[in-house]
Amino acid sequence: MIKYLVLLCVIVLPAFSQPLTLPTHINEVMGYLLKQEYREARHYIGKCRLSKIDSLFAVILVENAEMIDYESYAVNGRRFLLMCDSARIELQKTTEYKRTALQHYYYATIEGAVAVTRGKRNDFAGALTASNVSKKYYELVLASDSTFLPAQFGIALREFYSTTVTSKVGVGKKKLAASVSTMKQVISNESSMAHSLQPSLFWVYMDMKEYGEAEQLAQRFLRAHPNNTIMMRGLVKVQMVQGNSAESEKNAHYLMVIADKRSPKNWSDYFSGGVAVVTSMKQENRNADALKEITRLLALPLDATAQKLEWVKKHKKRLRELSEEINAKK
């Protein structure tokens, strides 16, 4: 369920078909988010003359994308949930968008982000409630405009994960196929909207064990956004799963270089790349190199914020496990 919630949250980067429209600044913000330029996105929003709800919604998009990127739910999650509470109140007060498809889309996006954040903070009941509310509002959007692609994708994605448990049943298989077909159709063009949804479909392919499709999609995305570490992590993962240790290690090193240059440094990405590099070395019996890299990684000084990040903890644990596995074979 949490994997579904995270994927649903990725689709908050919107683009619209008529009759739904958003202020033009949203497409600009989306461009910054695809490049993971959060500081620049905030600066851009600050320069725009926006209504309070439009500004707050745009900031929520940025904050949410950055939390997904850095896996910083433990550090920033509570503040983000309070921001979403403020957005709900503002949406209820505003008359400009009252009972419109645009208001429903704002609600759907915000509730999807809340669902992910609550799930990441182990509030699973709250996550499920918010997820159901998000689905309801996506359905209201589609009732106004059945061609609205992000809502189509969101409903299909939810349908895929809710059907997975019955995928061995004929009806379940048909639903899965229909859901994937809808998602593929939505991301088939090269628009910013399609690009923003591709990471979600990538993980659908991974869950289906369609690794060739997953790798092709990752490569396609990275041709347009070569420094996007979210999809680079995925590419490293799928190459590792397929046993392509040389390519996985090469791309993992690149991931670490990008993570190291970012401000703030993305420690989750850096250790993710480190685990992939060590795993590749272990698979190729370069055990001395692997142990040396593990020692280097575990000795890196981390600030207080980085030490709280869940995936930093998980990656460091995995490095210690890899060390034990290698030493056990001596």
In a domain, 157, yes or no: yes
Whole-number pLDDT of residue 14? 43
Domain, as residue range, for 121: 1-188
Given pLDDT bands bounded at 50, 70 and 90, which one contains residue 16?
very low
Report helix angle 149-163 to 170-186, nearest 10: 150
Same domain, 275 and 183: no
Same domain, 330 and 281: yes
Which of 136, 162, 188 delimits the end of a domain? 188
Q: Which amino acid is at 6?
A: V
d(CA 131, CA 324): 40
Percent of the chain with pLDDT over 70: 90
194 domain-assigned: no
What value does the mean pLDDT of the chain take?
88
Q: How many domains is the chain partitioned into structurally? A: 2
Residue 106 corresponds to which tokens in the numbers above? 């704002």
What mean pLDDT is predicted for residues 51-67? 93
User: Are 315 and 254 within one domain?
Assistant: yes
CA distance 270 to 258: 8
pLDDT tens readout for residues 77-135 = 999 999 999 999 999 888 777 778 888 989 999 999 999 899 999 999 999 899 889 99
User: Is position 248 within any domain?
Assistant: yes
Q: 192 or 57, which is more confident?
A: 57
Of 50 and 238, the one with more pLDDT: 238
Q: What are the structure tokens assigned to 293, written together?
A: 């890299």
Does 9 share its domain with 66?
A: yes
| Distance, CA of 289 to CA of 247 (rounded, Å) | 17
In a domain, 126, yes or no: yes
Euclidean distance between CA atoms 326 and 330, whole angstroms: 7
Q: What single-letter DSSP state applies at residue 31?
A: H
The DSSP-derived string for 35-55 is: TT-HHHHHHHHHHS---HHHH
Q: Are residues 174 and 255 located together in one domain of the fold?
A: no
In angstroms, the CA 323 to CA 308 distance is 23
**pLDDT value of residue 164:** 67
Angle at 218 between CA 149 and CA 115, to 5 degrees: 50
Specify if 220 maps to a domain.
no
pLDDT at residue 192, rounded to an integer: 80
Q: What is the mean pLDDT of residues 250-272?
A: 96
171 and 242 in a single domain? The answer is no
Q: Is residue 222 part of a domain?
A: no
Which of 28-32, 147-151, 272-276 is the most confident on average? 272-276
Query: What confidence tens digit (pLDDT) does each residue in 284-306 have?
Result: 999 999 999 999 999 999 999 99
Secondary structure class of 28 (helix, strand, coil): helix
CA distances from 301 to 48, 61, 134, 296, 297 (A): 39, 31, 40, 10, 9
Q: Which of 188, 211, 236 is the last residue of a domain?
A: 188
Which CATH number belongs to the domain containing residue 234 in this structure? 1.25.40
> Which residue, 33, 2, 54, 4, is CA-closest to 204?
4
In-domain check, residue 168: yes
**Listed residue (20, 177, 317) closest to 169, CA to CA:** 177
Does 254 lie in the same domain as 153?
Answer: no
Cα 18 → chain centroid: 27
Instruction: Note whether 153 and 235 are same-domain residues.
Output: no
173 and 72 in one domain?
yes
Q: Both 22 and 83 in a single domain?
A: yes
154-204 pLDDT per residue, tens? 888 888 877 765 555 555 678 888 899 999 999 888 778 788 899 999 999
**Residues 233, 248: Cα–Cα separation, whole Å:** 10
Backbone angles phi, psi at 157, to 5 degrees: -65, -45
Q: For the chain, count helices (H), then strands (E).
A: 17, 0
281 with 182, same domain: the answer is no
Last residue in a domain, options 188, 209, 236? 188
Question: Could you tell me which residues come within 8 angstroms of residue 273 by beta carbon, excluding any fewer than 6 positions away?
Answer: 236, 252, 253, 254, 255, 256, 259
Q: Are residues 27 and 76 in the same domain?
A: yes
Q: What is the C-alpha to C-alpha distance for residues 330 and 327, in angstroms, rounded to an integer?
A: 5
How much of the chain exceeds pLDDT 90, in percent? 65
Residue at 110 is within a domain:
yes
pLDDT of residue 277: 98
Q: Are 283 and 277 contacting, i.e. CB atoms less than 8 angstroms apart?
A: no
